[in-house]
């Protein structure tokens, strides 16, 4: 049985809602996606789920992924959000 790891990242940005919606729209053609301006959920194959929550000052990202793909999935999410946020420098600090 595959172990699912949950990790969280809180990114300081005043544009969290914008990035949440861009990421959800970007992946909607490939994956099961639900979102509104303040929260989103992206369900991917192999028990991978990305949940997003926007506040006025942050974008909160929660990732559930198999242990062997967690680091790779973090990188994929980070790189996509960073691409949408090309006008600002974002810091992604995942725990655990």
Residue 33 has pLDDT above 80, yes or no: yes
Cα torsion 62, 68, 86, 34 to 10°: value is -40
Q: What is the pLDDT of residues 46-96, one digit of tens each?
A: 999 999 999 999 999 999 999 999 999 999 999 999 999 999 999 999 998
Q: What phi and psi values does residue 65 have, to the nearest 5 degrees?
A: -155, 155
Residue 1 has pLDDT above 80, yes or no: no
Q: What is the pLDDT of residues 6-24, one digit of tens each?
A: 999 999 999 999 999 999 9
**pLDDT at res. 96:** 87
Residue 2 has pLDDT above 90, yes or no: no
SS3 label, residue 58 = strand
Residue 25 has pLDDT above 80, yes or no: yes
62 to 1, 85, 94: CA distances (angstroms): 22, 18, 9
């Amino acid at each position: 049985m595959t172990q699912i790891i949950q990790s969280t990242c809180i990114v300081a940005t005043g544009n969290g809602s914008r990035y949440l919606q861009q990421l959800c729209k970007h992946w909607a053609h490939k994956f099961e996606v639900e979102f509104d301006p303040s929260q989103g959920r992206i369900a991917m194959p192999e028990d991978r789920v990305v949940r997003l929550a926007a506040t006025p000052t942050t974008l909160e990202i929660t990732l559930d992924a198999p242990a062997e793909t967690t680091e790779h999935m973090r990188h994929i999410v980070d790189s996509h959000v960073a691409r949408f946020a090309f006008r600002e420098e974002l810091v992604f600090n995942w725990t655990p």
